């Protein structure tokens, strides 16, 4: 019998990086927030070294800005990076949903249906963060059902710049029914093999973030460059 030892635990650096990134993307640490090595090391019960390394890694991703003689801050949202991420996502998601309309596993279709039921419940509870998570899961299922998870991983690398605006929009405005309706229409289009309807609905769905930018920049000007 082969002995399988315990799974390796993540390093302190990886732990701190993951926690800080989650706090930034969830807006728990809003754009412009000052970050302290000392305070973070105390909060996470680690030395300053993994905190410093995490700050540098987040800076490489554009989520943290290190300013000499001034300190380290959560980066402001860059509209140009947001638009570039949205553009890439739009092109790839339209292509994937066309594939889904041609052939899509029945078990993944059922996962989408289950996801929609959870979305309805999140809307009823006005749970913005859970709705955001379910939205991400919904789109991931589309890529997974089409055998394109590596493409989804590429999207995620740029999504860090888009996701803060998407969550900010959900938090600031609880009128979410149209988002659910678009998700529902796309599932119906997949079932009916209607690629034209699926693609046009996906494009409309992702263009919402363009319209939201104007409103969000007026409402939260201190969050944007």
Q: Is the pLDDT score of 124 beyond 60?
A: yes
Each domain of the chain, given as residue ranges in start order, spans 12-74, 79-223
Q: What mean pLDDT comes out for the span 22-39?
A: 93
Check if the beta carbon of residue 161 is closer than 8 Å to that of residue 82.
yes
Q: Is the pLDDT score of 7 beyond 60?
A: no
Q: How would DSSP label each residue in 102-145?
A: H---HHHHHHHHHHHHHHHHHHHHT-HHHHHHHHHHHHHHHHHH
pLDDT in the model for residue 10: 59
Q: Integer distance in angstroms from the first to the last C-alpha of the chain?
A: 59
Q: One fold for both 12-74 and 79-223?
A: no
Pick the CATH number of 79-223 from 3.30.710.10, 1.20.120.530, 2.60.120.260, 3.10.50.40: 1.20.120.530
pLDDT in the model for residue 216: 87
Percent of the chain exceeding pLDDT 90 equals 67
Global confidence as pTM: 0.84
Q: Is the pLDDT score of 176 beyond 60?
A: yes
Q: What mean pLDDT comes out for the span 13-34?
A: 92
CATH of domain 12-74: 1.10.10.10
Mean pLDDT of the chain: 90
79 versus 100: the higher-pLDDT residue is 100
């Amino acid at each position: 019998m082969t002995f399988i030892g315990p799974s390796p635990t993540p390093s302190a650096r990886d732990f701190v990086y993951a926690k800080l990134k989650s706090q930034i993307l969830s807006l728990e640490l809003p754009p412009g927030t000052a970050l302290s090595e000392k305070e973070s090391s105390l909060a996470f019960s680690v030395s300053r070294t993994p905190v410093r390394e995490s700050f540098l890694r987040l800076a490489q991703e554009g989520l943290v800005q290190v300013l000499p003689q001034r300190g380290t801050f959560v980066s402001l949202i860059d509209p140009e990076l947001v638009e570039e991420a949205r553009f890439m996502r739009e092109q790839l998601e339209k292509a994937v949903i066309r594939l889904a309309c041609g052939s899509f596993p029945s078990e993944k279709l059922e996962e989408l249906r289950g996801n929609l039921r959870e979305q309805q419940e999140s809307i009823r509870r006005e749970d913005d963060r859970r709705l955001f998570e379910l939205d991400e899961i919904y789109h991931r299922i589309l890529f997974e059902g089409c055998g394109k998870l590596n493409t989804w991983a590429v999207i995620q690398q740029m999504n860090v710049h888009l996701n803060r605006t998407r969550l900010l929009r959900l938090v600031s405005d609880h009128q979410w029914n149209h988002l659910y309706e678009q998700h529902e229409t796309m599932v119906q289009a997949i079932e009916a093999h209607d690629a034209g309807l699926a693609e046009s609905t996906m494009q409309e769905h992702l263009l919402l973030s363009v319209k939201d930018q104007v409103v969000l920049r007026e409402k939260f000007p201190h969050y944007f460059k």
